[in-house]
Amino acid sequence: MTTQTAGTGEHGGVAPRSRDDDAIGAPPQRPTLVPAERYHSAAFAAREVERLWPKVWQVACSVDHVAEPGDYFEYRCGPYSVLIVRGDDGELRAFQNVCRHRGNMLCAGTGSGLSELKCGYHGWTWDLSGALKRVPNRKGFGALRMSELPLHPVGVDTWERLVFVNLDVHAMPLADFLEEVPSDIAWNALGDFRCYATMTIEVDANWKTIADGYSETYHIQTLHPELRRCMDDVHAPQVIWGHTGKSEQLYGVQSPQLKDTLSSREVWDAYVYTQGALMGVEEGTPLPEGRPRPGESVAEVIAERTRAFAAQRGVELGWASTDQLMRLHQYNVFPNMTLLTNADHLTVMSALPGPDPDHGELVLMLWTRMPPGSPRLKPADVRMTAQEAHPGVVLTQDISVLPGIQRGLHQPGFTHLTLSNEERRVINMHRNLERYLDLPASERVTGGETP
């Protein structure tokens, strides 16, 4: 899909904008209305299981999970289970995680050292390329042709060190699905990052409720007041390419919406409180004495400290400008992925359906930039409840409001979400969702027309 002009076309897309443009762009004639039942209807969730999740590329894990022969990773999305395996020949393959005999799962979780895929129920065994090799007491099946019972293949591909899967083996190539995203961020050499951990957080909210929170900056002025002291939430240009989109936010500066001018120390303190880990400093670390110097900005001081932090890991960031270190690039990939990055930061998030429409999972993939050619880090994979999770000040605030939103969506008087053009990445997700689910006109989004 190609980039569209502001507010036009099926997806309500926007053309690339100047970094001085605001997050709203051209306002529409009226708000966009999204039916609320999409977030809690069991019938709607069932339609997603049937028509959405088996048809889209989904980020499943990192190359660091499946780097060596015999490594495996199980990816679950709703009722679906996909087994990703690095073969003896070094090839990455994915299969439906099901024994062809009686339907038992072959593997769970993640691990290494596999030489074959053996069902723990009756012992049917496949090699790592998916070919059936052994059936105990085979004569009892009569004319059983082993070649006719390989594991069901699943589409698998990589972008940089992210592994994607698609249950539809005839789907469009991943490169086409990602549209302009890889070329837009190519300058940042994402392949130099290594995944060191994943956090799966169980949330009392629909997967769309979770994903929406990472698709707009409108909530920052209320939910994240600390961020407004160190981030420009006004000049946050957005672009929609089709079923992908992007926004940018510059850090190290105060929000233009604040009435009072903050001192450099106040901006520094807010950045340390919300983002200090990105430059390797603890909460309360003071602004270095005598900084910023005349003609120097606090953003340049933060960028300098970030380069020094990277150098401790052997990473040379002299190539990265202050803007490349302080401007957060946030990409949305339909239906459920968000990628956040700057020159020394990468976090990948995905929102997954839970056991019912009122529950979901937020999966955080955490990365660190390493010197080129560094060996993989074996990621630590942890699961926890929302109450147990404390993934930093900002993300904790984001997670804390989700149950209340989900509860509100059920109220009988709340029939539609009323969305601003500032929330157009949320709107774009719904427009794409309508296409995959083939919804009738009576169930579709309305409003949002441009003047």
Per the DSSP assignment, residues forming a β-bridge with 249 are 328
pLDDT band at 10 (very low <50, low <70, confident <90, very high): very low
Please give the mean pLDDT across all residues of the chain: 92
Residue 379's pLDDT is: 95
Shared domain check, 162 and 44:
no
276 part of a folded domain: no
Distance CA 394, CA 29 (A): 33
Residue 375 scores a pLDDT above 70: yes
Per DSSP, helices labelled H in 96-224 are 174-177, 181-184, 207-212, 220-223
294 part of a folded domain: no
21-46 per-position pLDDT tens digit? 778 888 888 999 999 999 999 999 99
Residue 21's pLDDT is: 77
Residue 6's pLDDT is: 35
Residue 7's pLDDT is: 36
Shared domain check, 343 and 210:
yes
The CATH code of the domain that includes 23 is 3.90.380.10
Q: What is the mean pLDDT of residues 400-414?
A: 96
Shared domain check, 125 and 45:
no
Residue 371 is which amino acid?
A: P
**Domain boundary residue, one of 158, 177, 196:** 177
244 part of a folded domain: yes
Shared domain check, 96 and 8:
no
Q: Residue 335, preceding bond cis, omega within 30 degrees? A: yes
Distance CA 32, CA 448 (A): 4
170 part of a folded domain: yes
Residue 12 scores a pLDDT above 50: no
Shared domain check, 225 and 143:
no
Shared domain check, 102 and 43:
no
Shared domain check, 400 and 359:
yes
CB 228 within 8 A of CB 274: no
Residue 22's pLDDT is: 76
CA 148 to chain CA centroid, nearest Å: 37
Distance CA 347, CA 364 (A): 7
Shared domain check, 433 and 372:
yes
Shared domain check, 64 and 12:
no
189 part of a folded domain: yes
> What's the pTM?
0.93
Shared domain check, 142 and 9:
no
Q: What is the mean pLDDT of residues 55-78?
A: 97
Shared domain check, 86 and 229:
no
Residue ranges making up the domain that contains 109: 58-177
What is the count of structural domains for the chain?
2
Residue 19 scores a pLDDT above 80: no
**Domain boundary residue, one of 138, 161, 177:** 177
Structure tokens at 128: 């790592």
Shared domain check, 137 and 4:
no
Cα–Cα distance list, 74 to 15, 108, 199, 341, 380 (Å) = 38, 6, 15, 26, 14
Q: What is the mean pLDDT of residues 324-339?
A: 97
CB 233 within 8 A of CB 314: no
Distance CA 84, CA 95 (A): 7
**Domain boundary residue, one of 153, 177, 201:** 177
Distance CA 247, CA 54 (A): 28
289 part of a folded domain: no
